[in-house]
């Protein structure tokens, strides 16, 4: 007896059972081939800057990197706890805890203390004397160019 066997929403034809009959069944399997995902090898840069326009500018300048921006140190430290960036660009004068507080917190732990920090501030001259070895580069917001930012990031990332 010929019939159809329901399989989900599809119906497959069935053949009567005949022990003497030789049945040749050919299956044509077309596997779903997915292209391997292209993993991003972009380095992660966290920008901690309370001036939205400056944060957006830095993100544009660093378009060849994966950039995340934070308007305060508390949001930045939460993100850093979840995933360490390759470099942090930090303004010192922030709403809430200052960049100094964030630097102090970063230096309190071995893993976060190893993340290179670039300070980007309009008070760069005054800060240069106050900052220790935890800061690799100090950029002056007033005089820096987009190329200065890119070069500073490349310098601390070793390339």
- Structural domains in the chain, CATH included, are 44-156 (3.40.50.2300)
Side-chain-side CA neighbours of 107 within 13 Å: the count stands at 12
Q: How far apart are CA 118 and CA 131, in angstroms?
A: 11
The model's pLDDT over 61-97, given as tens digits with 9 standing for 90+, comes to 999 999 999 999 999 999 999 999 999 999 999 988 9
Amino acid 126: pLDDT: 76
Angle, alpha carbons 139-144-145 (nearest 5°)? 135
Neighbours of 137 (CB within 10 A): 18
When pLDDT is cut at 50, 70 and 90, the band that residue 124 belongs to is confident
Amino acid 129: pLDDT: 67
The DSSP annotation for 121-158 comes to ETTHHHHHHH--TT-SEEEETTT--HHHHHHHHHHHTT
Q: How far apart are CA 88 and CA 106, in angstroms?
A: 11
Amino acid 26: pLDDT: 47
Question: What is the percent of the chain with per-residue pLDDT over 70, rounded to a whole number?
Answer: 71
């Amino acid at each position: 007896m010929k019939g159809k066997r329901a399989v989900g929403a599809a119906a497959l034809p069935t053949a009567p059972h005949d022990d003497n009959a030789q049945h040749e069944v050919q299956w044509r399997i077309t596997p779903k081939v997915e292209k391997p995902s292209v993993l991003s090898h972009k380095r992660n840069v966290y920008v901690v800057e309370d001036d939205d326009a400056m944060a957006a500018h830095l993100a544009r300048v660093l378009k060849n990197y994966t950039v995340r921006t934070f308007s305060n140190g508390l949001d930045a430290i939460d993100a850093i706890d979840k995933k360490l960036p390759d470099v942090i660009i930090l303004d010192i004068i922030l709403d809430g805890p200052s960049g100094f507080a964030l630097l102090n917190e970063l230096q309190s732990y071995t893993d976060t203390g190893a993340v290179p920090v670039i300070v980007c501030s309009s008070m760069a001259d005054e800060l240069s004397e106050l900052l220790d070895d935890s800061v690799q580069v100090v950029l002056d917001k007033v005089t820096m160019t987009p190329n200065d930012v890119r070069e500073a990031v490349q310098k601390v990332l070793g390339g």
